[in-house]
Amino acid sequence: MKLPRKKFEANIPSVAMGDIAFLLLIFFVILARAQNDDHIPWQPANAEDLTQAPATAATVTIDTDFKLHLNGRPISTGELAGALGAILADRPAGGRTVHLKVDREATAPTFEPIIEAVSLAGGEIVHILEPESEPQ
């Protein structure tokens, strides 16, 4: 007598799929570095009567070695206008703010071409400074 074989079905467990997807989403959101430029060394200039800077579309930084960075990534001065133009292309007037962080030791020949490139891209420059410290 021949016994009938049991057929086993292979099922994919889908009960925990939502939990796994949610945890992966949280993991990648925490690790994402969209515009983080904290790793760039720079010394801001001091000034009096400063106001809070508005939200930004992009950040341009000249570090202590006078190297140029756009949103935390190195870039050349010649490429800056095109890259900023791509970032600012779909933003309306008033929302095209570009934070400009210039090291306090940088001279005018270093940052003037960058200001020109931001202007060519249609950006509205906000220079990031530090409040003057009171003498102790």
What integer pLDDT is reported at residue 68 of this predicted model?
92
What integer pLDDT is reported at residue 132 of this predicted model?
65
Q: Are strands 58-62 and 68-70 parallel, antiparallel or unpaired?
A: antiparallel
What integer pLDDT is reported at residue 133 of this predicted model?
62
* CA 129 remoteness from chain centre: 18
In this structure, what are the phi and psi dihedrals at residue 17, rounded to the nearest 5 degrees? -60, -40
pLDDT tens for each residue of the chain, 136 residues long: 778 888 888 777 777 888 888 888 888 887 765 566 667 777 777 777 777 777 787 889 988 888 999 988 899 989 998 998 888 888 887 788 888 888 888 888 888 999 999 888 888 888 877 666 665 5
What integer pLDDT is reported at residue 35 of this predicted model?
61
* Secondary structure class of 118 (helix, strand, coil): helix
What integer pLDDT is reported at residue 31 of this predicted model?
73
Task: Identify the architecture of domain 46-131 in CATH.
Answer: 2-Layer Sandwich (3.30)
Task: Concatenate the DSSP letters of all residues of 89-110 into one string.
Answer: TTPPTTS-EEEEEE-TT--HHH
* Upper half-sphere CA count for residue 36 (Cβ side, 13 Å): 7
Helix axis angle, 77-88 relative to 108-120, nearest 10°?
A: 30
* CA 84 remoteness from chain centre: 12
Cα(125)–Cα(115) distance, integer angstroms? 8
- Judge if pTM exceeds 0.85: no
In this structure, what are the phi and psi dihedrals at residue 115, rounded to the nearest 5 degrees? -60, -40
